Chain A
């Protein structure tokens, strides 16, 4: 059983499909069901998309790192970037999620498909830690 994996990528959306495939494999190795694997992978992909779109403003060439931690009771994923700090995660907005607006679903997915989502700022880095119980 792989307990700890570090994944590095550039702030380029073209790298995310490769990340998604790797995360799906890690979820499978951790014993998650197909549905749980999809949900956790989707939440992590949304968080990484946010790093690219918001922290780095769509600029390519900036680092994003993920630390995958398999614990006895679940999985924790720490996502780090060196972009603009986030003032705070946007408030949950179930109304927005129910409309046919084009955007505004990313944080809803992150919150609903993880057990905790904790944001901190550490030495010029944004650190978002997502956890999901097994």
Chain B
């Protein structure tokens, strides 16, 4: 899976696709883990384009968080829409992840 990825101030920033579902979960998980393992472990995942996610997509994010924290890093989420936010609240993952309105806020917190 080709994820849009760039680095700013030592933080990896990855744009997630429109849908993050079971079909693409394994590829997305591998791609993000590669980014974490070759980077600082500080990761911002941009969900601005993500309009649908299932529990497999949530598992990708949880797996990413675990990988980042093993490197003393973290995963911050930005740009989350109201529907995906409802999924995070239902599954209580909004208490597990740091969620920011925008990338600038996440970068300030991570730096």
Contact = CB atoms under 8 A, between A and B. Distances in A.
Interface string B50-77: 0010111011001101100000000000
Given A13-B23, A102-B62, A105-B58, A97 B91 contact: yes
Contacts of A105: 55, 58-59, 91
A16 B52 contact: no
Interface residues of B, number: 24
Contacts of A49: 22, 54-56
A13 B26 CA distance: 11
Interface of A: 13-14, 16-17, 20, 24, 34-35, 38-39, 41-42, 45-46, 49, 52-53, 97-98, 100-103, 105-106, 108-109, 112-113
16 contacts: A13-B21, A13-B22, A16-B22, A17-B21, A20-B19, A35-B82, A45-B21, A52-B22, A97-B91, A98-B92, A102-B63, A103-B59, A105-B55, A105-B58, A105-B59, A112-B90
Interface of B: 19, 21-23, 52, 54-56, 58-59, 62-63, 65-66, 82-83, 86-87, 90-93, 95-96
